[in-house]
Amino acid sequence: MNRTELVKEIFSKKSFLSVGLDTDINKIPKFLLDFEDPIFEFNKRIIDATHDLCVAYKINIAFYECLGSKGWESLQKTLNYIPDNLFTIADAKRGDIGNTSAMYAQTFFQTYSFDSITINPYMGVDSVMPFLEFPGKWAILLALTSNKGSRDFQHIQENNEKLYELVVRKSFDWGNEDNIMFVTGATQPQELGGIRKLAPRSFFLVPGVGAQGGDLDAVVKAGRNEEVGLLVNSSRGIIYASADESFDKAARKEAQKLTDQMGEYF
């Protein structure tokens, strides 16, 4: 999905919600365990309940690959079930030397046909460039994450520039606003505003709203641009809103709360 298509979907729905499918076999409603593929059955019902409200689905690869070949099968079925007009994110956080990154890019852009993948840019240019060689695909670089440990390294400062700011600035030597996005955590809205100044036209994938305590209004005020430029992700707050048989209805209710808020910014 290219930039024009993504922006059109956002303005059509008046939503910039990404639903995170961090589907944990130990947390889904117990009755689903009777199905042949409990993970896919859970995801299918979540997608049915939310696809008209969101613009993206972020699939956390760890929850699938830990299940071996069956998990990868559930992943493929889930990806196939997501409507074509929605943006798909492989939350895989890959990043390795060039030839290995090339194989990761082939995995997630050809074998599984995701629109984008999250990447750890710590190893530099040769770990990122292979992902930028696929037209219409996106590399989402970790810039400033929402976890507590983000301050261990991302805030290290040298020559009046923090490490996460260097990541953003340097990445424009490799790609542009049409193939690079940045992960910018909702729990640090003041810093998010600074990143927006460095990348005025870029899209940000923003985790941390909901269960992690991030505030949507603060995120929008700090990060919105003319095309919105935000994909605000909620995972646990939506998909685990209920553990009973009507979990999908509860998930829709939580997604609706967020999209109702988002609608106020259009």
Domains in the chain, please, with CATH?
3-263 (3.20.20.70)
Active-site entry in 14, 44, 77, 93: 93
CB distance 45 to 248 below 8 Å: yes
> What's the chain's Rg over C-alpha atoms?
18
Sign of the four-CA dihedral 19, 24, 25, 29: negative
Q: For residues 189 and 191, what is the distance between their CA atoms, to the nearest angstrom?
A: 5
Sign of the four-CA dihedral 77, 246, 213, 219: positive
User: If residue 167 lies in a helix (H) or strand (E), which one and from where to where?
Assistant: helix 163-171
pLDDT tens digits for 55-98?
999 999 999 999 999 999 999 999 999 999 999 999 999 999 98
- For residues 258-265, give the mean pLDDT: 96
- For residue 185, the model assigns a pLDDT of 85
Q: How far is CA 14 from CA 147, 174, 227, in A?
A: 28, 31, 11
Q: Would you say residue 104 has pLDDT above 70?
A: yes
Q: Is 58 part of the annotated catalytic residue set?
A: no
Matching residue, tokens 């340097």? 170
Tell me the pLDDT band of 148, cut-offs 50, 70 and 90. confident
Angle between helices 247-263 and 38-50 (to 10 degrees): 40
Q: Cβ atoms within 10 A of the Cβ of 84, count? A: 7
pLDDT tens digits for 173-221?
999 999 999 999 877 788 899 999 999 999 999 997 765 667 899 999 9
For 244, phi then psi, to 5°, come to -100, -170
Q: For residues 45 and 68, what is the distance between their CA atoms, to the nearest angstrom?
A: 23
